[in-house]
Structure 1
């Protein structure tokens, strides 16, 4: 199996994910979540033109998909192949079909059935006020990790791939124009899409020809630090704008761009038919590489299952859902998109090298520059298959990675603002959106620059992301399970994956906390203990809520329906 042709991996993986969408998501939508096209969603009930906006499902899919994707479905698989391509492949494909799609669809359903409330607020309703408070701690720490780390990742890519600067920032202007054309001028979505994507790829070609580099020093900041400051300013402004102005159109165009990028990558694989030179199972991992179990299941999060998806689904996406039945396409197919990206990352980082020795040289150390490994390996594949120069190929893939990370970063700031406001409500304080955003960005910036002007502090607590993220996913599935039990619905399709993810994330957290203690890393040790205690407490509360729900009378179905005038055109 070590000399497998990459085409086999691509075909099997894609076929299984497509089958999952057409078969398993249909079962979930009809039998488990019982989606109702006539149900009046929060976007219609609370339409305010800012956060609650009924949205075309294709546009909303673009927002959801790119907001949850970020760099994680590239980073996780690009790191995990150090154990071999087979474990990563199995976890990505099966995780996408049976866990990620179910989780994302379920989170959307649970929120829009509760007036678009966030997963933190839902935890208060379904597992109690203590659970809510602890849940908010976990959510805020997760968002802080994402915002800080993605700022560092993006700045690093903008410095190492200067050809991506023009398309990355030019994409914002494209998105602003697209938003105006769709919402103010009501132009045909297909025409706007073609124009927007053409403009974006024109910027990619332009950027490859005219790379942009920042000065070596400005006010004591190196280029990485300068980019991080600009990114925080952008994220703050973007998080305050009405979703239709920038967030929706930018994410939609980025989503289309990703699928074109994936088509280029997979097309190159089909034409070049490169051999997967990495071992199926790597028995010669470098010194310092942790054990496959349980670390594989927290290293690959986005692309298999991610708790961050639940915060996005319940924080922003559920407020824009036009019809409840759109949740199947937006949520489950959004997870399929992530799975395809993760599969592409596996192929790029295992078949994008000429020899096993070359691959082993790149993977001589655990967790060493995974995004750049994807960009370089994928660029080589695209060059082999389609003849596109490696420089331009790398610019295309780097732009794709940066745009996704940027969309996740500003969505993360928006969600942090929601959490700050929720905490304010608990403390009987009314915090407006500007103050909440300022608090969120200030905390993130303080952490990012806590270790120096290069922004390296942004990665300080990132080692906790994998376990925290998966623990949050398990807790989210716990809330969904309680809802299903209360409604008398089938709940095993949610409960079984929840138990698996919970066991693996707690196991990984215990392994990590032991390592932090032995290394004397007291910051990460303390935070990890806090997360473990909070997660375990919420778990206990969830189990009690499940047992109580089994004994209670079943809740009646909601009957608030949409009028024909309220529905958007399909």
Structure 2
């Protein structure tokens, strides 16, 4: 099998999803209304609620939800063979992820820009809201603590990426000023910004930056983690137009340029896929494909974190309700394209089956490393740049997206604490800087309290991320289904995906519970039970509401 064939099938399927399926959902099911006044205009404050050009907002949404996950998940899941990963990414993106993201934005826009946790209280019950907030908090805690470790590791492994990763912040700041303060031409600003980013990528290998082995008694990894959280805390308090939006927008453009270069290289090189379509000789200890495939590949197929971004920051910036289709659905398609590139890179970027097997020696092997190695070789041969610059380019791509996800994640955690302040009438917690201190403090407590001096505590509870993330997607679709039913829409387009997600992820959570028990990992056992119980109770609340709706004449 040649990589070009898979690339062509993938492009055709994504095109069908955006141009036809998403339009049907937007017009016939959600009934997006151009005359509806969105929260960005109703509550405009110049900080969080800011009416935003849909192209700029797409950049924010896409890069915030992408992170490193659509690379890591598919690059690991290929251990079962490229075919299951390929099929799940295509079906998941078109029929689940795009609908999930677009619908979550719509749900928040119709509910004053509230997060999905708060919306659950209005649509279901106060008890459901409390349970959802617990799941959301744990999910954000995992994402922020772990992504800090991932970014720190990439900067230590590839010092040439440090200059472009941090330099991108300066570029983003000036782009924000150019767009909002000086009202400069968006295409021109975009072009200059992309050129500046790639100039930094070119300079990165010439000026590598590495921290000393010890910084104030901390190793380099821990020092980078603290610096990342200091930055994230400051960024979460700044107006979205000043750094978050332009950083995400220019990173989105940079990714598409990088993806174009990578896909162009696939066309030029036309590599054969050396990985098996279905791997019948998986390494010992590899879990079963079902249901773990649907948990391992989250971002790139469907991810609950997307719902947090959609209802946390994106919905507060939607200028016109129909923009939710472009921002949400096309954002999911962009992530699907990244996941497809990852599958092709780790399946066709090796010289032989033997070389591929030397990388995939156990479950969890591969990941970003395999993507950078395999994709870097294809990129180097395709456009004629050095292997070092190719590796730097792909590392920066992954690090920038992980960073934008962490930026948004800390801001979302700040929102969670502020919403708790509203719910429980804790005025101090409503203040942005106080909520940010609690958000960052909880992440650092996990990172260093559970992990010790190296700051890798987030990795301890990371095994729960996959199932928690997918369950969050199912719960979000539950709430959306109730909303669609209340406006007399057809619910099959959200009900079928949510039932599938709840089944496979609950099954996965139960399998994990057995594994944690066998390993006597009591912390994960407790957290697993908390998440499982909360999910079951929210589902019961939701199905109770659905049942009552079915029994009413107006919903029949």
**Residue of structure 2 equivalent to 1:318:** 315
CA distance in 1, matches of 2:359, 2:421: 47
2:454 corresponds to 1:487: no
What are the residue-to-residue correspondences of 1:275-424 with 2, within 5 Å?
Answer: 275-368=272-365, 370-424=367-421
What are the residue-to-residue correspondences of 1:429-440 with 2, within 5 Å?
Answer: 429-430=426-427, 431=429, 432-440=431-439
Matched positions, count: 552
CA distance in 1, matches of 2:106, 2:2: 40
Does the CA-based 8 Å contact 1:486-1:553 persist in structure 2? no
**Residue of structure 2 equivalent to 1:171:** 168
**Residue of structure 1 equivalent to 2:100:** 103
2:448 corresponds to 1:449: yes
2:75 corresponds to 1:65: no
CA distance in 2, matches of 1:522, 1:248: 41
**Residue of structure 2 equivalent to 1:562:** none
Q: Displacement, 1:424?
A: 2.5
CA distance in 2, matches of 1:34, 1:267: 37
CA distance in 2, matches of 1:21, 1:44: 27
**Residue of structure 2 equivalent to 1:566:** none
CA distance in 2, matches of 1:115, 1:241: 21
Does the CA-based 8 Å contact 2:66-2:299 persist in structure 1? yes
Q: Displacement, 1:500?
A: 0.6
**Residue of structure 1 equivalent to 2:216:** 219
Q: Displacement, 1:550?
A: 2.6
Does the CA-based 8 Å contact 2:71-2:339 persist in structure 1? yes
Does the CA-based 8 Å contact 2:40-2:51 persist in structure 1? yes
Q: Displacement, 1:123?
A: 0.5
**Residue of structure 2 equivalent to 1:560:** none
Give the gaps of 5 or more residues in structure 1.
556-570
**Residue of structure 2 equivalent to 1:473:** 473
CA distance in 2, matches of 1:334, 1:213: 34
CA distance in 1, matches of 2:40, 2:452: 43
Q: Displacement, 1:15?
A: 1.2
Decide which moves more: 420-429 or 251-260.
420-429
What are the residue-to-residue correspondences of 1:467-546 with 2, within 5 Å?
Answer: 467-546=467-546
Q: Displacement, 1:129?
A: 0.7
Q: 1:122 aligns with which of 116, 119, 139?
A: 119
Question: Which consecutive segments of 4 or more residues in structure 1 shift more than 3 A?
Answer: 551-555
Q: Displacement, 1:554?
A: 5.5
2:18 corresponds to 1:21: yes
2:169 corresponds to 1:154: no
CA distance in 1, matches of 2:45, 2:549: 34
Q: Classify 1:552/1:237 alpha carbon distance in 2 versus 1 (closer, same or farther; 3 Å).
A: farther
**Residue of structure 2 equivalent to 1:464:** 464
CA distance in 2, matches of 1:283, 1:210: 45
Q: Classify 1:58/1:554 alpha carbon distance in 2 versus 1 (closer, same or farther; 3 Å).
A: farther
**Residue of structure 2 equivalent to 1:563:** none
Q: 2:179 aligns with which of 160, 178, 182?
A: 182
Q: Displacement, 1:428?
A: 2.2
Q: Displacement, 1:106?
A: 0.4
CA distance in 2, matches of 1:426, 1:553: 34
What is the SS of the residue equivalent to 1:289?
coil
Give the alignment's Cα RMSD to 1 decimal.
1.0
Does the CA-based 8 Å contact 1:51-1:316 persist in structure 2? yes
CA distance in 1, matches of 2:523, 2:13: 42
Q: Classify 1:404/1:539 alpha carbon distance in 2 versus 1 (closer, same or farther; 3 Å).
A: same
What is the SS of the residue equivalent to 2:84?
helix
* CA-to-aligned-CA distance 1:468-513 (integer Å, 9 cap, x gap): 0000000000000000111101111000111011101101001101
CA distance in 2, matches of 1:46, 1:548: 33
Does the CA-based 8 Å contact 2:360-2:366 persist in structure 1? no
Q: Displacement, 1:53?
A: 0.3
CA distance in 2, matches of 1:173, 1:186: 18
CA distance in 1, matches of 2:116, 2:553: 24
CA distance in 1, matches of 2:31, 2:63: 26
Q: Displacement, 1:369?
A: 5.3
CA distance in 1, matches of 2:502, 2:383: 43
Does the CA-based 8 Å contact 1:486-1:550 persist in structure 2? no
